Amino acid sequence: MYKVFVNDKPLFLTNEIKKETDFKFFLLESVDIEQLIIGFFQNKFQKVYLYHPDEKEIMKTLRAKIPVCKAGGGLVYNDKGEVLFIFRNGKWDLPKGGMDRGEEYEETAVREVKEETGVGKLKITNKLQKTYHIFKRNGKYKLKITQWFEMYSSFEGVPVGQIEEGIEKVAWLKPHEVEEALKNSYENIKLLFAEEKKLHE
């Protein structure tokens, strides 16, 4: 099963038939994806399941219905065990961005962390999960697929937010501050930290 976020609400792609209770259930093959997305943004839906019988074909079927934008991002730790966060659009987030032509996910993730935060000396320590969310750009809805990487940085300078990306603040947050920041973050980011926690248990 895949979890795609639309306006920070979950859209589940599943190959199991579910009985509707607190959610809507549609067939992925026949659903009008744009109308569905608009419904999320108009708060008509809080949670939706899209059904397709073949699990291997689910993401392929969705991708055929909506343009895809691939991105790479970093969950970066320093020597003190602090995590690198950015603050943008009133929420705490992690540095990430779209792939340039010819790039691999790893290259994108490292480049974007450097560009958005000014933090260098990055080393990838783990490949994490992919997250999925739908956003609107230039009047069109797109599916953003972000491949995340755990990274370590020995950078000792002062992080600087990329102004043209609307980043107001960059900060190394201590574990207890991370918990606080996640209360004002995106569902995808919370999901990432939940997975990260399992990885280190």
Task: For the chain, state the CA radius of gyration.
Answer: 18
DSSP string, 153-186: E---S-----GGGTEEEEEEE-HHHHHHHHTTB-
Please determine, for residue 200, whether its predicted confidence score (pLDDT) is greater than 80.
no
| Residue pointed to by tokens 């990885």 | 199
* Minimum mean pLDDT range among 21-25, 80-84, 122-126: 21-25
Residue 103 φ/ψ, nearest 5 degrees = -85, 155
Instruction: Give the chain's end-to-end CA distance (angstroms, integer).
Output: 23
CB 158 within 8 A of CB 149: no
User: What contacts 184, CB < 8 A, 6 or more positions away?
Assistant: 90, 91, 92
pLDDT at 156 over 90: yes
75 SS3 class? strand
pLDDT tens-place string over residues 169-192: 999 999 999 999 999 999 999 999
Per-residue pLDDT for 19 more than 90?
no
Instruction: Kindly state the average pLDDT of the residues 21-41.
Output: 95
User: What is the phi/psi pair of residue 101, to 5°?
Assistant: -55, 130
**Domains, the chain, with CATH or none:** 2-63 (no CATH), 68-199 (3.90.79.10)
Helix-strand-coil percent breakdown of the chain, rounded to 5? 25, 40, 35
Closest CA to 52 of 87, 3, 13: 13
Global pTM value = 0.94
